[in-house]
Amino acid sequence: MAFVNPKRKEVQVKIVYYGPGRGGKTTNLEYVYQKFNERIKTEMVTIKTHGDRTLFFDFLPFDIGKVNGYDVKIQLYTVPGQVKYNATRRLVLRGVDGIVFVADSMSVRREKNIISLKNLQENLANYKKSIFKIPIVLQYNKSDLDEQGIPLLTFETLEKDLNSKLKTPSFKASAIEGTNVVQTMKKIISLTMASIVKELR
């Protein structure tokens, strides 16, 4: 839940990147960090294992300037995707305002995407939030692997698996190459801000 500070004229908004392990959530934030590096004055915070898997979360604050006279501070987080880390994943979701679900386009990960989305729904319900009401954007990541001949799920299959009920904006992307990473982020920020701006009037 975003906090509005009328004294500082500031709003803090929490956006969480969710999805199966190794899907590319951390890579999304790393790309944003590097791309906007003169605008982001602080270090990216990461709590990870030796093998580079997210253990708790990544955190990246991102100022988008003024909206309706308020300074908007977007706080980007990732969760650990590995199934065993559900307790910490749930902690990161606390007070979330918007979600990017990063799915892995590799055919072998089809089941993992579906399980992770269901897990998101359950964890949101734990905070009395509905996956159908919260701003959410889907990202079908690793589309670059196509060129290497790695079997990928088609856009239609991914839509059918993950977006048939949500009916929310979705992007084919490659976090490693930066394709559609910024577009995904812009979309979730605009959806989330739209729901917040109504309350700022």
Partner 1 sequence: MTYTLGQKQLDNIEDLLQKDLIDIGVRCVFLIDMAGNIIANRDNGKIKHDVYSLAALAAGNFGAVSAMAKIIGEGEFSLLFHKGKKENIHFNKILTEFLLITIFSNEISLGFLRLKVTETVDKIKKTLESIHAP
Ligand X SMILES: Nc1nc2c(ncn2[C@@H]2O[C@H](COP(=O)(O)OP(=O)(O)OP(=O)(O)O)[C@@H](O)[C@H]2O)c(=O)[nH]1
Q: Which is nearer to Mg ion, 25 or 187 (CB)?
A: 25
Interaction of residue 54 with ligand X, rule CB under 6 A:
yes
Axis-axis angle for helices 25-35, 181-200 (nearest 10): 80
H-run or E-run covering 99? strand 98-104
Q: Which is nearer to partner 1, 123 or 174 (CB)?
A: 123
Q: What is the largest CA-CA distance in the chain?
A: 55
- Helix, coil or strand: residue 147: helix
> Which residues make beta-bridge pairs with 141?
104
Interaction of residue 23 with ligand X, rule CB under 6 A:
yes
Residues 96-115 that bind partner 1 (CB under 8 A): 96-97
**Spatial separation of the C-alpha atoms in residues 158 and 170, rounded to whole Å:** 10
Task: Return the half-sphere exposure (C-beta side, CA atoms, 13 A cut-off) of residue 147.
Answer: 5
Which of 25, 109, 112, 187 is the binder for ligand X (CB under 6 A)?
25
| Contact assessment for residue 102 and residue 175, using Cβ atoms and an 8 Å cutoff | yes
**How far, rounded to the nearest angstrom, does the alpha carbon of residue 185 sit from its chain's CA centroid?**
8
Interaction of residue 116 with Mg ion, rule CB under 5 A:
no
Residues 26-45 that bind Mg ion (CB under 5 A): 26
145 touches which of Mg ion, partner 1, ligand X, none (CB within 5 to 8 A by kind)? Answer: ligand X
Which of 2, 29, 72, 137 is the binder for partner 1 (CB under 8 A)?
2
User: Residues 31-70: x/- map of binding to partner 1 (CB under 8 A)?
Assistant: -----------xx-x-x--------xx-x-x---------
Other C-beta atoms within 10 Å of 43: how many? 9
> Which residues make beta-bridge pairs with 71?
10, 66
Residues 48-67 that bind Mg ion (CB under 5 A): 54
Task: List contacts with Mg ion (CB under 5 A).
Answer: 25-26, 54
Task: List contacts with partner 1 (CB under 8 A).
Answer: 1-7, 11-12, 14, 42-43, 45, 47, 56-57, 59, 61, 73, 75, 77, 87-88, 91-92, 94-97, 127, 195-196, 199-200
